[in-house]
Copies of this chain bind each other. A is one copy, B any other.
Amino acid sequence: MKFYDDGDALTEPRGFFCSGVHCDVKGKRNGKLDLGIIYSKKPCSVAGVFTTNDVRAAPVRYCESLIQDDKTLCHAIVANSGNANACTGRQGELDTKKMAAEVARHFNIHSKEVLVCSTGRIGEPLPMSRITAGIRDAADDIIQEYDGAKAFQEAILTSDTCTKSCSAKISATVGEITVGGVVKGAGMIEPNMATMLAFLTTDLGASNAELQSILAEAVNKSFNRITIDGDMSTNDTVLLMANGNSGIQFSKESKKFQQNFVEAVEAVCAALAKKCVSDGEKVTKFVRMKVAGAKTPEDAEKVARCVANSLLVKSSWYGSDPNWGRIIDAAGYAKVGMDFDQVDLHYNDIPALIKGEPQVGNKSQWKEIVSGKEFCITLHLNMGKAYGEIWSNDLSEEYVNFNKSE
């Protein structure tokens, strides 16, 4: 697998086109790109993973209903930022369908072949006249074959500080295929992430069912490490489109190739998820919180999540303070039966606790590690063999300042 940690990602698989335009969704006339389209002339198989929040935005419900039908093929995705079209009632549903219909009209396809995503403020109706104009411009850019891969990446951002993309290439018996992906995230990720949207494209040919099981598993190992279902926003969506433009068909290739494809999708999702955490609102550090030696994987994840979500722990990371007491306290209220006198704790490879005994001789090394921009903390419970990992970040004053009003 060749991996590219940036780039035009979505248009690297053959046959995909992208665009991004400013249509002033927020009515602020700030010139920010805020509407984009991904298009494939060949119809695509498609898979999707969605938020399980009780409150799902109109576009989420729309995409879900289309993707539940295994025969669904799709040509395009339209996405806007600035307005989530969530908690907008019947009007929200009509607006979503109108967005799909407008895209379909420009490309002369069926409106059910268009998926729709929105992200931004909740509870306000979409400004449909401006959205419609934006769709016209964005479709026109694609018809004119403008190179809009970067513009699309920009158009979906909300409070993100940068675009986030990557791609992977793998060889088949003859030729190669590409998987490209982009993500927008920001927000605090968890416990209350702002909307995360991720889009993946590939020129491999595959059925909806094949794509769905591969995507679901990849999301589980990546985006769900930073946010589980229960904590998702009203609009979180991950979509994967496969147009078969490479001439290579998943089902006709070797087990080895199939496994390579699974790994490519997982690598793209993992890289995007990591970019997402690192670009969380006003984040200064990326932290892998690993829990080993738990009785069950669920226990391990529960402990990792308690630590990774603790405001006191996150604040201390921000201050480069290796405060193991706060970590142990947070791990303790996961209530998996942890015995402090049995736990080992490491900052990267440096022991901080061995069987509950502080390794105070290493104190300056912990401090140095926690002062870095990226580090890993491993808590070994010594209760069993299960393992779990959560990717987290620190909490800065700027986060609060940034979020105190919209």
Where the two chains meet, the residues of A that have a C-beta atom closer than 8 Å to any C-beta of B are 52-55, 84, 86-87, 89, 121-123, 187-188, 191-192, 194, 230-234, 309-313, 315-316, 318-321, 323-326, 328-341, 356-358, 395-401, 403-406
Contacts and interface: CB of A to CB of B under 8 A. Distances in A.
Contact of A191 (B55, B309, B315, B356): B309
Nearest to A319: B404
Contacts of A398: 397
Nearest to A86: B325
Contacts of A313: 192
A54 B307 CA distance: 14
Contact of A192 (B87, B89, B320, B330): B330
Contacts of A406: 316, 321, 323
Contact of A404 (B321, B330, B358): B321
Contacts of A319: 403-405
Contacts of A233: 329, 333
B232 A333 contact: yes
Contacts of A122: 325-326, 328-329
- Which of the listed residues A233, A326, A329 has the most CB atoms from chain B within 10 Å of its own CB? A329
Contact of A332 (B55, B335, B400): B55
Contacts of A336: 54
Nearest to A381: B54
A396 B315 CA distance: 12
Contacts of A395: 311, 400
Closest 3 CB pairs of A and B: A319-B404, A122-B325, A55-B332
A323 B328 CA distance: 34
A270 B270 CA distance: 47
Given A89-B357, A404-B318, A329 B191 contact: no
A314 to B, nearest CB: 8
Contact of A53 (B320, B333, B404): B333
Nearest to A340: B55
Contact of A54 (B52, B231, B332, B404): B332
Contacts of A188: 311-312
Contact of A329 (B52, B55, B325, B332): B55
A356 B87 contact: yes
B192 A310 contact: yes
A380 to B, nearest CB: 15
B397 A400 contact: yes
A234 B329 CA distance: 6
A336 B334 CA distance: 22
A399 B405 CA distance: 17
A128 B201 CA distance: 65
A358 B399 CA distance: 28
11 contacts: A53-B332, A55-B338, A87-B340, A122-B329, A188-B311, A191-B311, A192-B311, A319-B403, A323-B405, A397-B398, A399-B400
A188 B358 CA distance: 26
Contacts of A325: 84, 86-87, 121-123
Contacts of A330: 192
A89 B191 contact: no
Contacts of A121: 325
